[in-house]
Amino acid sequence: MRRATLESRHLLKEARRILKKKGAQLPGAVAATVRAAMQGVVDASAAADVDRMRKANITLDEVMDDHLSFARKSTLREYAESIGVAIAVALLLRAFVVEAFQIPSGSMIPTLEVGDHIFVSKFSYGLSIPFTDTKILQYSQPARGDVIVFKFPQDTSTDYIKRVVGLPGDTVEVRQGQLYVNGNEIHRERVPERCHYSEVSTAGVPDDHDCERWVETLGKKVHDTILEPAHPAQDHPRTVIPPGEVFVMGDNRDNSYDSRKWGTVKMNLIKGRALIIWWSRGNSAPNPVGWAKAIRWKRFFTVVH
C-alpha cells in the first residue's frame, strides 16, 4: 500500500506539472484522456484498494508515455535534480545554520578532546554573507563562558575554538593560573581526583601529562579546566577588551595558544557557538585510569558546556 501510494503521488504530481505547463499545446481529447487516467488513480487511492491502485498507476504511466513523453523527465534527470536540491540545501544549512568541525588539538581538554566532531550553530549571534566576514544581521553577542569557533586573527584561513572569558569593555587578568574579570576573582574549585591525559606528539610519540582539574564558574556557565603543575603558570597582565572584540582562552590553560599570546578576536571573525559533540574518537581525555583508543560512546551527542 505504501509503495503504491508513493507511486500514485509521484505520477499525479508529474501529470499535473505537465498539464499546467503544456496543457495549452495538447489536443482536447489527449488532455481529457490524461485527466481520466489521473482521476482513476485518485479514485483508487480513495478506495484504498492496492490492486486497483497498481492498475490505475500502470494506466496513467502508459497514457503519459503515449501522449506526454515529450515533457516527461528521464530517470537520470530526476536523480540529478534530487541530488542538486540536496546539495543546495546542505550548502544553505552550512552557510547559515550549522557547520561540522573536528577538534585538531588538546587546547580545549577536558571540554573537547582531540578527534571530537562537533556541530557549531552559525546563527547564535547573527548572520554573515557566506564565505565572507561581513555580517548582514547581528542580534546578539557571545556570553562569558560560550565556546566559540572563529577565524584565527593572524591567519583567517584557519579556524580556532576557544572559550570566551572577556567581553567588550571588560578587564581581564591571569595570575598564577587564576582568572580575574573586572578585578573579580573567577570562582573555581579543585577536583581532588588524579588527573592525567595522553596525546600523540607531532613526531608520533605518546605525550603524557599530569594535571590538576578545576571546576570554574564563568558567567552562567560551569565548566572544567585543567592546569599542569609542571608548567610555569601562564600569567597575563591586566588588559581592557576593545569594543567589538572578545578575549578567549582554552580550557587546557597551560597548553593553549590563545588571547594571552596573540590578542583578542573581532566579532566579525566569529563563525558560531559550539553546540554538541556528535561523535568522538581518540585517547586524550583526563581520566583517573586513562582512555582506550576507541569510540567514546558516552560523549556521543553530548552538549558542549
Query: Is 162 a residue of the active site?
Result: yes
Cell numbers placing 21: 505547463
3-state secondary structure string, 99-147?
EEEECCCCCCCCCCCCCCEEEEECCCCEEECCCCCCEEEECCCCCCCCE
Among 162, 256, 271, 284, the active-site one is: 162
Nine cell digits for residue 268: 566579525
Distance of alpha carbon 176 from alpha carbon 231, whole angstroms: 11
Compute the distance between CA of residue 19 and CA of residue 264 in angstroms, rounded to an integer: 61
CA-wise closest residue to 150 among 106, 120, 181:
120
Closest CA to 15 of 71, 58, 66, 95: 71
60 neighbors 42 (Cβ within 8 angstroms):
no
List 107, 128, 259, 284, catalytic entry: 107
> Alpha-carbon distance 299 to 114, whole Å?
13
Active site amino acids: 107, 162
